[in-house]
Amino acid sequence: MTEWKVICKVDDIPVLGARRVQRAKGVEVAVFRNAEDKVFALLDQCPHKRGPLSQGLVFGETVVCPLHNWHIGLVDGCAHAPDEGCTTRFAVRVENGHVALDVNELNTLAIDDATVTN
Amino acid sequence: MTNKLKLVMVGNGMAGVRTLEELIKLTPDLYDITVFGSEPHPNYNRILLSPVLAGEQTLDEIILNPLDWYSDNHITLHTSWTVTEVDRVKRIVHATNAAGEVKSAPYDRLILATGSNPFMLPVPGRELEGVLAYRDIADTQAMIDAATKYKHAVVIGGGLLGLEAANGLMKRGMSVTVVHVGEWLMERQLDKVAGSLLQRSLEERGMQFRMGAHTQALEADKNGRVASVLFKDGSHVPAELVVMAVGIRPNTALAEKMHLHCERGIVVSDTLQTVTDPRIYAVGECAAHRGIAYGLVAPLFEQGKVLANHLAEFGIGRYTGSLTSTKLKVTGIDLFSAGDFMGSDDGSTEEIVLSDPHEGVYKKLVIKDDQLVGACLYGDTVDGSWYFKLLRDGRSVADIREKLMFGESNIGDVGHEGHSKAASMPDDAEVCGCNGVKKGAICKAIKDKGLFTLDEVRKHTKASASCGSCTGLVEQILMFTAGGDYSATPKKKAICGCTDHSHQEVRDAIRDHKLLTNDAVFQFLEWKSPTGCATCRPAINYYRLSSWPKEALDDPQSRLINERSHANIQKDGTYSVIPRMWGGETTADELRRIADVVDKYNIPTVKVTGGQRIDLLGVKKEDLVNVWKDIGMPCGHAYAKALRTVKTCVGSEWCRMGTQDSTQMGKDLEKAMWRMYAPHKVKFAVSGCPRNCAEAGIKDVGIIGVDSGWEMYIAGNGGIKTEVAEFFVKVKTSEEVMEYTGAFMQLYREEGWYLERTVHYVNRVGMDYVKKKILDDEAGRKALWARLQFALDGEPDPWFEFDKAQVDTRQFEAITV
């Protein structure tokens, strides 16, 4: 059974924008909201040079990394060709306007990355 | 069986297959695609046949789409099948092969991409063995084989293709004579002087010429192979191989059989549909668009893009024609021509000519009504792409006319290069300093991936994708590597992939139709993507705000991170904060507050900037609001496309040399114009005397105090490529400095394209135009200045007035779990 943790309301995320979610341990998670009110969650770290994706410009189902303009797919967390690389995806559940993330994923996914620095 | 629409393509060449590539990108599943090709090969790069003939590349290297590509994309490919008949009523194509078998395929949409045929002179003997055209791999292979067995070759036709063929045969050891009916070589691309220089250079390499010669007949030996060429004057030249390269004709045989309207090609509309049958399209060398059948690859790719767009049922693209340029692919010979390089005899055009026969350099520029309309370069083509750009943009060259001949590096738009000719650079030379891309990597990507446009090179190599200062160089490498058929074809450049509209068209629409929101713009201009992209949204946001101050609302989600968070993001995701110091002057109180903030928030680095301010680096995003509050100084906009600093010297208040109070002037300018968003960042400087300690010569507006008043310089730039500001006007009072500066700024704000610095704006519209608007038109100047004051009146400080400045403060807090 997946244990879901409510993070915020959909309306707490700007349309075509993002919020950062701080975890007990590990790099923050970015939750995005697009123009159709779809919500996505990715590790807040570009696969290129670790830029904070939560700070990027969102369009369609893409976020553009604020550091070097890489285009990252919100659905799969992967860079658009010809760039290569993926960031970690997190499962999202939206119910009654509330955004929830998987507790197990929050506690385990990409935790080690926090120790890596540039 | 699927019930997808059936798309059949007749022809398997570059234009057609590029169309399919574009189509698959847009809609991979809409069609069942079948391709018929007469040749046994998959799509290859026909432009590179000349290097293959010359032994510089192999056939394998010039394949663009290997067979795997067709199967991976579920395209049924029938090579060595020639379509001989099309039943337009039943919508079926019939093809035959060498064995006489017949294969049929039904279609819902049909693309004719039949290319062109070489024109064979109707002389006796043209059917003899050893007489060839130069068009495809088979011809090339036959020429390579002949070169191993025979000694003498004659190439009939001294145009682009003929000379490339002659050069290749010569490199393979044959003795080659070029027969040309014209007075000089390549008369469609070169004028007489350049054509003669070319001939001399080729003669030095051993090529022989018969100019002005009319071929009478080709004579056979006893085995029925060609042996010599007979001319009208009765003379002979021995020839065991004759290559006809006197031109190509659009291949319309099938189209005519189908009763499609043909006139110098298959006549198509702007959507590449044949005018006779809208189910049928024609693309490439076989198509006649507005009376022109193009033979160069870039326009054909442009056509392919439009056609794919239409097939994908997007229905937005229109092809409106292309300008083309030419470059000869003979290693070691540099020539370039574009536009109306001959000029006209009726006195309506002027020519600027540089000729140095000793060095083998010749350049001719043709000017009409202050615009560059043609260029013909021989020996030194480094500026070819720049001239071509000027030609395409149609901008006035009146203000740069005296420097035009000496190239872009003299004007100063090429960034850190200009002297370095793309061709002579070693492979390990760095081209793009931002992304560390070397020439070898660019050439390799162009060859391996079959790149043809600047955009493609940018995407794949990152060269010229950051600051753009090496764009000219990358274009030259592209021209040099991809061959002469590269040309930056579109007459106007779309803002981004979301639209076909240019910056100017979007600006105009927003102003003329009062489009106040992004959605209104997207809807009115039929944007292809519902929420735009990271390129167009910031531009549209700026155009709305600058066109409709006080009415259009800022959309923070359409701003890139720095303008959204009102600080500069750094490589580790922290921010830098630069408070405003009017004219670079500060106080003990301000410095104390800054020092306290540095301690309180553990800010790791404090740095003095080039613009006479203090930069606090390494501030965490969640601390930004409190840092601003504690410092208590106005926002410095050091992160924004806006007025940044007004750099000043101390001026007459202290300096024994000073003639004017430059610090006060600087403060006044800054207080009047801070919070001013612009197409790009804007920097001012004010010096109090001609010693110019504030370096006013490299600023967007530089003011220099002299005894009798102030001199104003505009459109300088200290960045990527240093641009010296040009003298604009001398005024007497500080009020005039304010008015003229404000008017120039407002003109730039209203007319500049997003991300265009003042220097590029002024280059585009011409200094004369700016002078006319501001110096000659007093009422206009005052109106501009008034409009700027109106726009800035009551504008908020984004560090303190969050609501009014549309700052979404949620961004500063992380959600905790």
- pLDDT tens-place string over residues B148-184: 999 999 999 998 889 989 999 999 999 999 999 999 9
Q: pLDDT tens digits, residue range B447-491?
A: 888 787 787 888 888 888 776 667 777 877 887 777 655 544 445
Last residue of a domain, one of B295, B311, B327: B311
Share of chain B above pLDDT 70, in %: 95
Higher pLDDT, A73 or B187: A73
**Residue B572's CB: how many other CB atoms inside 10 A?**
14
Give Cα separations from B724 to B178, B543, B681, B764 (angstroms): 50, 28, 17, 16
- Given a cut of 70, the residues of chain A with pLDDT beneath it are 113-118
Closest Cβ opposite residue B557 in set A17, A28, A49: A17
Give just the sign of the alpha carbon dihedral B288, B294, B297, B303.
negative
DSSP state of B338: E
Contact yes or no for A82 and B460 at CB 8 A:
yes
Give just the sign of the alpha carbon dihedral B654, B660, B662, B668.
positive
Residue B297 lies in a domain: yes
Distance of CA B572 to the CA centre of its chain: 33
Chain A interface, Cβ < 8 Å to B: 5, 7-8, 12, 14-17, 19-24, 28, 31, 34-35, 49-52, 55-60, 62, 64, 66-67, 69, 71, 82, 101, 106, 118
- Do B259 and B206 lie in one domain? The reply is no
- Chain B contact probe: residue of A57, A84, A107, A118 with most B CBs at under 10 A: A57
Residues of B in contact with A60 (CB under 8 A): 529-531, 533
> How many helices and strands, by DSSP H and E, does chain A display?
1, 10
- Do B182 and B268 lie in one domain? The reply is no
Residue B27's φ and ψ, nearest 5 degrees, are: -150, 95
Question: In this predicted structure, what is the pLDDT of residue B2?
Answer: 59
- Chain A contact probe: residue of B459, B464, B531 with most A CBs at under 10 A: B531
Q: In this structure, are residues B619 and B627 in contact, taking their beta carbons and an 8 Å threshold?
A: yes
Predicted ipTM of the assembly: 0.92
- Do B174 and B270 lie in one domain? The reply is no
Contact yes or no for B561 and A17 at CB 8 A:
no
Closest Cβ opposite residue B815 in set A21, A59, A69: A21
Q: pLDDT tens digits, residue range B291-300?
A: 888 887 778 8
Which amino acid is residue B46, in one-letter code?
A: R
Contact yes or no for A60 and B561 at CB 8 A:
no
- Do B680 and B791 lie in one domain? The reply is yes
Last residue of a domain, one of B311, B331, B359: B311
Give chain B's mean pLDDT: 90
Distance CA B759, CA B767 (A): 10
- Do B88 and B100 lie in one domain? The reply is yes
**Residue B562's CB: how many other CB atoms inside 10 A?**
19
- Do B55 and B162 lie in one domain? The reply is no
Q: pLDDT tens digits, residue range B692-740?
A: 999 999 999 999 999 999 999 999 998 777 889 999 999 999 999 999 9
Contact yes or no for A35 and B530 at CB 8 A:
yes
Q: Structurally, how many domains does chain B consist of?
A: 4
- Do B700 and B754 lie in one domain? The reply is yes
- Do B552 and B654 lie in one domain? The reply is no
Question: In this predicted structure, what is the pLDDT of residue B414?
Answer: 42
Domain that holds residue B771: 642-796
Question: In this predicted structure, what is the pLDDT of residue B420?
Answer: 42
Residue B608 lies in a domain: no
DSSP H or E run through B379: none
Question: In this predicted structure, what is the pLDDT of residue B817?
Answer: 83
- Chain A contact probe: residue of B434, B451, B557 with most A CBs at under 10 A: B557
DSSP state of B423: G
Residue B62 lies in a domain: yes
Which tokens go with B755?
Answer: 């991300």
Reference A91, options A30, A41, A17; nearest CA is: A41
Residue of A nearest to B570 (CA): A67
| CATH code of the domain containing A43 | 2.102.10.10
Question: In this predicted structure, what is the pLDDT of residue B331?
Answer: 64
pLDDT surpassing 80 at residue B201 = yes
Distance CA B310, CA B283 (A): 12
Question: In this predicted structure, what is the pLDDT of residue B282?
Answer: 97
Q: How confident is the model at residue B421 (pLDDT cuts 50, 70, 90)?
A: low
Contact yes or no for A57 and B810 at CB 8 A:
no
Q: Which of residues 461-500 of B touch A (CB under 8 A)?
A: 465
**Residue B251's CB: how many other CB atoms inside 10 A?**
20
| CATH code of the domain containing B285 | 3.50.50.60
Residue B220 lies in a domain: yes
Q: pLDDT tens digits, residue range B333-342?
A: 778 888 888 8
Q: Structurally, how many domains does chain A consist of?
A: 1
Per-residue 3-state assignment (H helix, E strand, C coil) for B484-536: CCCCCCCCCCCCCCCCCCCHHHHHHHHHHCCCCCHHHHHHHCCCCCCCCCCCH
What number of residues does chain B have? 817
Distance CA B738, CA B751 (A): 20
Which amino acid is residue B380, in one-letter code?
A: D
> Could you tell me whether strands B361-368 and B266-268 are parallel, antiparallel, or unpaired per DSSP bridges?
unpaired
Domain that holds residue A41: 4-115
Residues of B in contact with A66 (CB under 8 A): 560-561, 569
Q: In this structure, are residues B709 and B734 in contact, taking their beta carbons and an 8 Å threshold?
A: no
Question: In this predicted structure, what is the pLDDT of residue B674?
Answer: 96
Q: pLDDT tens digits, residue range B536-588?
A: 999 999 999 999 999 999 999 999 999 999 999 999 999 999 999 999 999 99
Question: In this predicted structure, what is the pLDDT of residue B409?
Answer: 65
Closest Cβ opposite residue B810 in set A12, A34, A55: A12
Last residue of a domain, one of B541, B559, B577: B559
Residue of B nearest to A46 (CA): B573
Residue B636 lies in a domain: no
Residue B193 lies in a domain: yes
- Do B143 and B228 lie in one domain? The reply is yes
Radius of gyration of the CA atoms of chain A, in A:
13
Distance CA A111, CA B296 (A): 55
- Do B667 and B526 lie in one domain? The reply is no
Reference B286, options B6, B70, B89, B9; nearest CA is: B9
Q: pLDDT tens digits, residue range B99-157?
A: 999 999 999 999 999 999 999 999 999 999 999 999 899 999 999 999 999 999 999 99
DSSP H or E run through B361: strand B361-368
Place of tokens 């309306």: A11
- Do B284 and B171 lie in one domain? The reply is no
Which tokens go with B793?
Answer: 């009146």
- Do B61 and B146 lie in one domain? The reply is no
- Residue-wise burial string across B85-106, b where 16 or more C-beta atoms lie within 10 A, e elsewhere: ebebeebebebeeeeeeeeebe
Distance CA B602, CA B614 (A): 16
Q: Is B627 helix (H, G, I), strand (E, B) or coil?
A: helix
pTM of the model: 0.69
Question: In this predicted structure, what is the pLDDT of residue B449?
Answer: 80
Residues of A in contact with B533 (CB under 8 A): 59-60, 62, 64
